[in-house]
A = this chain, B = another copy of it.
Amino acid sequence: MDTKDLPANILDPNCPSRVIFQRIGDKWASLVIQVLGDGPVRFSELRKMVNVVTPKVLTQTLRTLERDGLITRTVYAQVPPRVDYQLTPMGESLLQPLSMLREWAESHVPTIMEARDAYDDAQDEALLASPK
């Protein structure tokens, strides 16, 4: 059974949309894309702007983004080397959905922090009530 003509369905583990969905949710990938939203950035700049990622992991992230056609990598033949990363049109089309998520996250920070505090307090009390 070939999946390529079936309707995309994130809940199907065999559906590529699921893999793509998870790539978007990747810890660094989504941050990189948002940073690149303002134009091309070189490797070392990217490292500074996306605090704080090790070079190995940043490279991995950039390679998969490039493979998926979301960014392009441009090497300038100079020394010291210069490599620019920038969004493709498809990469740019991700900016809007991502910024909606970012806005959601930023606007719900206080509520979530309160929920965590309340939850942790309840855990502490439960622990006191039944100290094994």
Q: Which residue numbers of A lie inside 8 Å of B, CB to CB?
A: 4, 8-13, 15-17, 20-22, 24-27, 30-31, 34-35, 49-52, 66-70, 90, 93-94, 96-98, 100-109, 111-116, 118-120
Q: Which residues of B have CB within 8 Å of A100?
A: 96-97, 100
This protein's copies in its complex:
2
| CA distance in complex: A26, B105 (Å) | 13
Given contacts A8-B106, A31-B10, A105-B17, contact A111 B90 (CB under 8 A): yes
A115 and B17 within 8 A (CB): no
The secondary structure that dominates the A interface is helix
Give the residue name and chain of the B residue nearest to A96 (CB).
B100
- A4, A13, A34, A115: residue with the most chain B Cβ atoms closer than 10 Å: A115
B27 and A66 within 8 A (CB): no
Q: Which residues of B have CB within 8 Å of A120?
A: 67
- A34, A68, A93, A118: residue with the most chain B Cβ atoms closer than 10 Å: A68
